[in-house]
Structure formats: structure tokens, C-alpha cells
Structure 1
Amino acid sequence: MQNSTTKTASMVEGGILASIAIVFALISVYLPFLGVIVNLIWPVPILLLGVRHGLKASLMCLAVAGIIIAILINPIQAISVVFGFGFIGIALGYAINQAWSPLKTMIIGTGASLLSKGAVLLISIVLMGINPLTVQLAATGQALEQALSIYQSLGFTAEQLQEIRTTMETTIGLLKYIMPAGFALASVVDTYINYLIAKKILARLGNPQPEFTEFRLWQIPGYVLWIYGVSLLLVTFYNQDPTNILYLIGVNVQMVTNVILLIQGLSIAYYYIHYKNWPNFLKSLIVILLFSNQFLVQVVVLMGAFDVVFDYRRLNTRNK
């Protein structure tokens, strides 16, 4: 009797969460200005079902949602949603259901997100004959021309316009090479957002999840610094040949490890603000300054790198 009740509850809950996923898909199509936000959290219903009722329930929910989206909208949209976002929910739901640590859950979710993005890219190229990366770069080029037209109407000189064009074209050219790193970092961000939302919902449902280690105590493995150093060497040696595979690997790995060291450096700053009992608003101030000052970014990255070597906070000593 109890098994029957549990099965019925699972089916009812699965139907409700599948309906929410379908509504999210409809919103993303018919209300494009909300589409980015809705797509970002689309995995949450699938995730919640996986946590509460297991992998099989979440897979069934994903399949049902995909079929109904194909009927209501079109099959391409269904495939894009299922492959692009569904697997993140499946992976995170399974990891949380298995009571894995937050870090391990994030790694699994990030991997699923990265694979999903690759799958969507492949589907777009094969089924629709459209390369989203090429489309995005073309749109960026058009935006550059529009921006230059606006600057010209504002009275910028020809020399100033040329300087802006050169800078922006260099940036756009770099984007072509660092897209894999961009995908990797985006995968971390969307996984973290879905995990946080699900964590809050699960807490309200009486299923609290373990917390991450306090940010001020975060510590990256020492091998990250070695990887960073190798990537710098690759970029330096092959800088004159940006199409070389070793340069492409180096520049993408450098970007990812740069962000990791930046986070490590920021963790150190938070640690000392806490240790010195300074006002908490300084934490927000540092983050704001990082977005506006490239020199400060490099300083914080170096702080992170030096901490890996010298262990300023003596975290390794405490853990022994």
C-alpha cells in the first residue's frame, strides 16, 4: 500500500514538474525577453524530481516534457531544450540524490552542462545547417559597425574611430579562439545557479543540502598553478601562430585557470577582511573594482597564485 502511495505521489509530482518545464519552454519561445532567464533555470523541475524520486523519474519527466514540447512548438525546439538543458537537471538531481558533496555535484553538473552545449551546437549544425558560433560572431561584427556609426555621429575623429575599430576587431578575433573556455566557464555558472535554486527549494521542502566550504576558506589544488604555467608557455611560444592547436589549447586553458586563480585571490581578500574584522561592504567594493580595473584583476590573480605556493592563510597546516 505504501509503495502504491509513493508511486502515485511520484507520478503526480512528475506531472506537475513536467508541466512547469513545458511552461518554461513556451515562455522562452513566446516571451523572448524572458527566454534567457527561463532557459537558464529550465533544468530545475527535472532536478527536483530526480532528487525526490530518483533517476528513473527524472528521465521519464524529461521524455514527457520533450514529447509535449515537440507537439506544442516543434521537434527542433524540443531537441534543443532536452539536450541543451535537460541533462544538467538529470546530472544534478542524481548527484544530490546520491548525497554527493557540493563540490562533486558541481563537477558532475558542469560536465553535463558542457556536454549539453556541445550537443546543441552539433544538432544546430547537422539538423539546421546553422553554426551558432558563426552567427554570434557575425552579430558582434554588426554591433561593432552600429557602435562606430553612433560614435561618428557624436563627433569622434577618424583616428579615434580607427583606434576603437582596431581594438574591437582584435577582441572579436580573440573570441573565436577562446570560445571553448567561454563554454566551460558558462557551464560552471549555469550549474551553480541551478544548484543554488534547487538547494533553496529543497530546504523549504524539508530536505536541506550541505553547504559549500565558506568562500574565505576556499583553496585550489597546487597542480592548477602548474597547468597555468604550462598554458602561459604555450601561449608565449606559439603567439605568432594563433591557429596552431597548441596555441588554442594554451589560450583556453590560460583563461580558465586565470579565472580560478582570480577566485582564489578573491577568497584571500575575503579571509583578511574577516580576520581583521573590517566592514563587510569592502567585499562588495572589491568585486565592483574588479569589473572596472584590469590592473586590480591581475593583482588578485597574482595573490591567488602566490597563496598556492606560500599558503598565506596556513590552511594546509590546519588541515594536517
Structure 2
Amino acid sequence: MADIKIKSMTESSLLVAITVIVALVGVYIPLLGEVAILIWPLPILILEVRHGLKWALLSVLAAGIIMAILIEPMSAIRLVLGFAPPAIALGYGFRRALPAGQNLLISLVTAVISMLLALGLFLAITGINPFNMELEMMEDTFNSSISAYEAMGVPADKVAEMKDNFGQAFKLVGMLMPLIIICSGLITTLINYVMGRKVLTHLGYNLPKLPPLDQWRLPVALFYLFGFSLVGIYWGESRNISLLTQISYNAFFLTTCTGFVQGVAILSSLLRNKISRWMFWIIIGFIFINGLLAQLLAFVGLFDMIFDYRKRFSARRN
């Protein structure tokens, strides 16, 4: 028992040190810091699976105190409150051997709630809306770019067109903040699930893995949500119902993204063993950066939720 406790303390100390180092990289090193923040919860996840919830919570507390001293208390609180709970939820799912989809869903909900709590606490303590702060930074960057274009002699009508396009994009980004939070939570959860499972598998753990991409099928409810979002956008804009408009736009872009993912799964199934996987991902990358093709693939994926094209293709082959 003493040996187990010493081992837990040793690994906890090591992982706390790694967590603090990753946090320092995330705060002080540009670009690399964005990646570091995404994997910041990974040591907590690994510690919980190996030694249980108690050691994970103690490590989060220790890491938070050290970060508050070395970095800044508010940043430490935002990191701990925003990213530690999803890691603990993932660790719980791994320890319980929950199916991958169920574990990801629980962790995603936890991540979204945690991020909202962290943002709310930041607003309560500082009086600054973090959403507005991010939007102001974007606006300052854009204004600097416009000043540079004007100094280079870009025609006034072109500058006015860029300002108009930015104004529309700026308004849309502000409207889609709820979706941005959901996507941020999903990216963080997915990255830590994949990396955490890979590390723990190397350590000898047998953990559920995500099904192959070819088999991904998203709930048919997303298709109906897509239809309701179109109706909501029409009603909201035609009757100046701002809340309905915002909810509908978030639902529209969310369901469009899920449709794109399902469309990629269809292509993966169709092209499996026909082209190399790296060539497949090059094609997906080309589709992704082409707005029209990406939208078409998203529509295919959305309708697949009802018609199940892969099942029909499989039946024809047989």
C-alpha cells in the first residue's frame, strides 16, 4: 500500500510539473501556445485513469496554485476551470470503459459548461466581456490592415468593399459565439480522447476506440434541426426576432458542419481501397477550402442521415 501511494505521489508530481510547463508554453509562446493549451488537460486525464479521481483533483489544485504564482491568478483559474473538468470526465469514461461516442458526448457537455463557467467568472471578476474583448482584438487587427491598404494606395471603393465585407463577417462571428464555444469544446475533447487513448494504450490499458471513419453515422435528428434552422432564419430575419435569428444561424452552421463530417465518412467508405489514404485526405482538404464543394458534400451528408446511401450501395454490390 505504501509503495502504491509513493508511486501515485511520484507520478502526480511529474504530471503536475508537465501541466505547469505546458501552461507556461501556452501563455508565453505564440502559435505553439495555441496547441499547448489544447493538450493541457492530457496529464490530468492520464493521472485519473492510472490513480483515480482523488489524485487527479489534488494535481489540478497543485497545478492551479503553481500557475497562479508563476503566470497570473486569473489565467490560472480560466485554465483550470475551463479545461480540467472535461479531462476528468474523459478519465471517468476511460475508467468505466464507456463506449467512445458516449464518453465523448459526456466530456463535450462538460467542456461546454466548463468554458461558460470560466467565461462567466472572468466577466464577474473583471467586468470585461471576453467575447467583446476577442471581437475588439479582431477589429483592431482589421483596422490596422485597412490603414496599410490605404497607405499603399488601394482604391477607395475597394477599401469600402472590404470594410463592408468585414462588417458582415464581424456581425456573423459575434452571432456564432455559442457555436464557437461548442466547436472549441469538441476539438479539445476529441484531441485529448485520441491522444489520451494512444498514451494509455502504450501503457497497457485496453480502452474503447472510435469506430472507423467509414462507419460514422450521426443522428437523423440533425437533419430535422437543419430544416428547422432554415425556417428559423427566415422567420427571425423577416420579423426582426434577433434571438431566434441567432439560435437558427448557430443551428444552421452546426448541422452543416455535421453534414460535412458525414459526407466525408461516405467518401471514405466509397474510396476505401481505391486510392491511398493520403490522397483521400488531400481530396478532402481541397473540398474543404472550396466553399461550393464543401456545401454540396455537407448536403449529401445531411440527406444520408435519412437515406443511408452506404447501406444502399452495399445492397447493390451484394
When normalised by structure 1's length, the TM-score is 0.91
- Report what 2:297 is aligned to: 300
Question: Which stretch shows the higher mean deviation, 95-104 or 147-156?
Answer: 147-156
**1:5-44 superposed matches below 5 A:** 5-44=3-42
Tell me, yes or no, if the aligned pair for 2:223 and 2:303 is still in contact at 8 Å. no
- Report what 2:144 is aligned to: 146
Instruction: Give 1:30 shift.
Output: 3.9
- Report what 1:246 is aligned to: 244
- Report what 1:259 is aligned to: 257
**Partner residue of 2:227 out of 221, 225, 229:** 229
Letter of the 2:256 counterpart = N
Tell me, yes or no, if the aligned pair for 1:241 and 1:247 is still in contact at 8 Å. no
Residues 10/138 of structure 1: CA separation in 2 closer, same or farther (3 Å cut): same
Q: Which runs of 5+ in 2 are unaligned?
A: none
- String of CA shifts for 1:13-34, please: whole Å, max 9, x gaps: 1111112112222333443553
Instruction: Give 1:78 shift.
Output: 2.5
- Report what 2:130 is aligned to: 132
Give the Cα separation in 2 of the matches to 1:86 and 1:104. 19
Residues 13/264 of structure 1: CA separation in 2 closer, same or farther (3 Å cut): same
Instruction: Give 1:119 shift.
Output: 1.4
Q: Which runs of 5+ in 1 are unaligned?
A: none
- String of CA shifts for 1:95-121, please: whole Å, max 9, x gaps: 111111111111122112111211121
**1:73-88 superposed matches below 5 A:** 73-88=71-86
Give the Cα separation in 1 of the matches to 2:95 and 2:220. 31
Tell me, yes or no, if the aligned pair for 1:28 and 1:34 is still in contact at 8 Å. yes
Tell me, yes or no, if the aligned pair for 1:242 and 1:248 is still in contact at 8 Å. no
Instruction: Give 1:315 shift.
Output: 7.8
Give the Cα separation in 1 of the matches to 2:148 and 2:239. 34
Letter of the 2:191 counterpart = I
When normalised by structure 2's length, the TM-score is 0.92
Residues 122/92 of structure 1: CA separation in 2 closer, same or farther (3 Å cut): same
Give the Cα separation in 2 of the matches to 1:108 and 1:316. 33
**1:271-282 superposed matches below 5 A:** 271-274=269-272, 277-282=274-279
Give the Cα separation in 2 of the matches to 1:49 and 1:315. 45
Letter of the 1:313 counterpart = R
Give the Cα separation in 2 of the matches to 1:121 and 1:60. 23
Instruction: Give 1:290 shift.
Output: 2.7
**Partner residue of 2:214 out of 205, 211, 216:** 216
Dislocated runs of 4+, deviation >6 Å: 315-318
Give the Cα separation in 1 of the matches to 2:287 and 2:129. 33
Residues 81/292 of structure 1: CA separation in 2 closer, same or farther (3 Å cut): closer
**Partner residue of 1:190 out of 185, 188, 191:** 188
Letter of the 2:120 counterpart = L
Tell me, yes or no, if the aligned pair for 2:235 and 2:241 is still in contact at 8 Å. no
Instruction: Give 1:74 shift.
Output: 3.5
- Report what 1:312 is aligned to: 309
Tell me, yes or no, if the aligned pair for 1:218 and 1:267 is still in contact at 8 Å. yes
Provide the aligned C-alpha RMSD in A.
2.1
Look up the SS of the partner of 2:309 in the other structure.
coil
Residues 7/253 of structure 1: CA separation in 2 closer, same or farther (3 Å cut): same
Instruction: Give 1:4 shift.
Output: 2.7
Aligned length: 315
Residues 281/204 of structure 1: CA separation in 2 closer, same or farther (3 Å cut): closer
Tell me, yes or no, if the aligned pair for 2:53 and 2:88 is still in contact at 8 Å. yes
Give the Cα separation in 1 of the matches to 2:269 and 2:196. 28
Instruction: Give 1:316 shift.
Output: 11
Residues 132/242 of structure 1: CA separation in 2 closer, same or farther (3 Å cut): farther
Tell me, yes or no, if the aligned pair for 1:224 and 1:257 is still in contact at 8 Å. yes
Q: Among all aligned residue pairs of Structure 1 and Structure 2, give the percentage whose two residues are the same amino acid.
A: 31
- String of CA shifts for 1:35-72, please: whole Å, max 9, x gaps: 32222111011100111111122111111211222233
Look up the SS of the partner of 2:275 in the other structure.
coil
Letter of the 2:111 counterpart = S
**1:64-103 superposed matches below 5 A:** 64-103=62-101
Look up the SS of the partner of 2:176 in the other structure.
helix
